[in-house]
Amino acid sequence: EEVEILRMFKHSPYIIHCFGADVSFENNVNLYNLLLEYASGGSLADRLQNCNSLPEVEVKKHTKNVLLGLSCIHNNRIIHYDIKPGNILLVGRDKTAKIADFGLSVTLEQGMNQKQGVIRGTERYMAPESLRET
């Protein structure tokens, strides 16, 4: 399902590119492997861990890229559910911030039909109203 969602965004410069998928069998387990573009800068979480603060110009650039990526995602009626620094990858020489990890994502319709009591995402990064289901 994640591959199908990523294919929707193959032309977006703010969402990680997926080149396909592969299945391997190791230790009696099927492993599903996504073939993604290389993020030489690691994740935004890595970047934040390696320094105490980021220059304002870098914060502005990453914020703009993430918002443009979210706009694209939402315009395609997809809910990501797990936006956090670890899922923002820094790609290329200019370290463009790109949204990754659509493993918890659903369509807007699926989200509207979701049962109450189902929490999706990383609690530390969720809005309080999502945790309270209000």
DSSP string, 28-64: TEEEEEEEE---TT-BHHHHHHTSS---HHHHHHHHH
Residue 123, Cβ density class (10 Å: 0-12 exposed, 13-18 middle, ≥19 buried): exposed
Q: Of 22, 46, 82, 94, which one is the catalytic site residue? A: 82
Helix and strand numbers (H, E) in the chain are 5, 6
Convert the pLDDT of each residue in 25-57 to its tens digit: 999 999 999 999 999 999 999 999 988 789 999
- Identify the three-state secondary structure at position 108: helix
Q: Do 97 and 62 contact (CB within 8 A), yes or no?
A: yes
Residue 94 a catalytic site member: no
Convert the pLDDT of each residue in 60-76 to its tens digit: 999 999 999 999 999 99
- Identify the three-state secondary structure at position 104: coil
